[in-house]
Chains A and B, each alone.
Chain A
C-alpha cells in the first residue's frame, strides 16, 4: 500500500443549473492526502469545499480529472462500495443523517448495509460507541440527544464501517460551543488513537489550528496550503478571503505593522506572551 490515502488530479467539477447554465464549483484542483494525516479544508460558504468532500466519497463524480481513494478510481463503478467503506463521511446537519429510532441501531446501519455478520456488527457497534464515548446512550432515541451527541453518533456510525479515512463536511457548523468541543475532541482522538486519516471541512479557524496541514479554498480553487503556522501567518491574505485568524495572531500582526519585532507564526496566547 502506498502512503497516499486520497489523490486528486486536475479535478474540475461543474454543476448544471435549472436554466441549463453550468457553474464551475471546482477548477483544476490538485491535492494529495497522506495516510494518517489530519487535514483541514478552510473556506467560506460557496468556496467549493463541500463539493470537494462529496467527490472524495464518490457521491459526486468529476467532470474532468481524477479522484483516487486508496488507489481506487472513484469513476470505477465496481469499486463504489469499497470506496465508500474506505472513506466514510459525516455531514453538517446532525438531524438529517441519523436513520434509525435507536442509537445502536443507527450505528449498525452501515455494517448492516455491507452485509457484515450480526456478531461482528455487535462488536463494531459497541466499540464505535465506546470510542465516541456514547455507550451509555446506546438505547436512547436520537431526537432526545444534544447536537454534539448526535454528531458523535453519526461519527460512530461511520466508524462501525471500519473506514481508513473519515471525511467530515462541516460537522460543527450547527453546534453550540460545547457541542463543537465534544466533536473536535472526538475527531482528534480518531486521528491520534485510531490512526484514521481525517479530512475536516470547516470555516472555524480555531478548529484548524491543530491540524497537520491546512488547505484554503476560494472560488473553487486551492489558494493557500501549509501548516497552520504557515497559513495563519498570512493574516492579510486570510482577511481578504473573508476568513478569520486567531485574535492573538491578528494582534501580533498589528503590532508588527507598528514596528514591534515579533515572529510571524504566533498562534496561541502562550506563544505571544513568550514573544513579547
Chain B
C-alpha cells in the first residue's frame, strides 16, 4: 500500500549526533559534500570512511539504515561508474568492442562512485539523525540572513513543514481514490503509456480538487490561530548553540581542513 512508504526517514535517538544543533549538522554535511569533490587521492577516502563510521557509531543508527539510502540510487552509481570509465581519454588499459577503458578513466570512475556513495551516506545520516522539524528550523535559521536580498526564509520553511505534514495524508487519499475508481472499473495498470496517462485523469482531478479544498481550510485554520507570517514569531523549541556545538565545529574545521589540503600536498 502507498501509505506504507516512509518519508523523511528519521531514526529517533538521544545521542550526541541527534542533539547537535541542526544548523551545525547542515553546514557539516554541506562542507562534507564539497570536500568530497576536492579529494583527488585514495588515502583521504580512508579518512572519510573513518569519519562516516564514527558518526554511525556515535548516532547508534543501525548500519543497514544508512546503507538502505544507497539502494534506490544504485543504478545512478553504476551508470556514473561506467560513463566515467569509458568516456575518459588516456592510456588504454583494455577495450571491449568499440569501448575503451583507460587508466585515467578507471581512476575517475572509482573516484566518482566513491564520491556518490559517501555523498548519499552523509546526507542519509543527516536526515536519519535530524527530525524533519529541526531540519526545517535549521534551514530557516541558516537562510535568515538572505532575507536582506528578499529570500522568504520563513515562508520556505513553513512550506516544507506543511508539505511534510500532508504527504502521508495525500498518499492515503491517493490510495482511497484509486480504489474507488477501480471499483467503477477504472484500470490503472494496463495499456500503453498514452492510455495510462489518460487513465490517470480520474485519479488526478479529484486529488487536485481535494488538495485545493484542504489548502483553503488549512489557511483558514492557520489564520484563526493567529498566523501572520514569520514576524514576531517565537518557537516552542528554540534552537541554540551549546558548548558541544562549538567543540564539534572546531574539530570539524580541522578535519575538513586536512581533507581538502590533501589535494595540494
Contacts and interface: CB of A to CB of B under 8 A. Distances in A.
B235 interface: yes
A115 B233 CA distance: 5
B175 interface: no
B40 interface: no
B225 A161 contact: yes
B74 interface: no
Interface string A57-85: 10100000000000000000000010011
Contact of A99 (B131, B165, B169, B234): B165
Interface residues of A, number: 41
Interface stretch (A118-126, A188-196, A210-218, A261-269): A118-126
Nearest to B131: A102
Nearest to A110: B225
Given A121-B236, A125-B236, A95 B214 contact: yes
Query: For B131, B220, B227, B236, which residue has the most chain A Cβ atoms within 10 angstroms?
Result: B236
Contact of A105 (B133, B232, B238): B133
A34 to B, nearest CB: 22
Contact of B228 (A100, A113, A125, A161): A113
B238 A113 contact: no
Contacts of B225: 84, 88, 109-110, 113, 157-158, 161
Interface in A136-185: 141-143, 154, 157-158, 161
Given A59-B220, A99-B161, A118 B238 contact: yes
Interface string A96-133: 11111110110011111111111001100100000000
Nearest to A157: B225
Contact of B218 (A81, A96, A122): A96
Contacts of B169: 95, 143
A116 B238 CA distance: 12
Contacts of B168: 141, 143
Contacts of B172: 143
B44 interface: no
Contact of A114 (B214, B226, B238): B226
Interface of A is mostly: helix
A70 B40 CA distance: 70
Interface of B is mostly: helix
Contacts of A105: 133, 236-237
A109 B224 contact: no
B34 interface: no
B92 interface: no
A113 B236 contact: no
Contacts of B165: 98-101, 142-143
Contact of A59 (B133, B164, B223): B223
Contact of A117 (B222, B226, B234): B234
Contacts of A108: 235-236
Contact of A97 (B221, B228, B237): B221
Contact of A112 (B162, B213, B217, B234): B234
A105 B223 CA distance: 17
B225 to A, nearest CB: 4
B236 A91 contact: no
Interface of A: 54, 57, 59, 81, 84-85, 88-89, 91, 93, 95-102, 104-105, 108-118, 121-122, 125, 141-143, 154, 157-158, 161
19 contacts: A81-B226, A85-B226, A88-B224, A91-B220, A91-B221, A105-B133, A108-B236, A109-B222, A111-B234, A112-B233, A112-B236, A113-B226, A113-B233, A115-B232, A115-B234, A121-B235, A122-B236, A161-B225, A161-B226
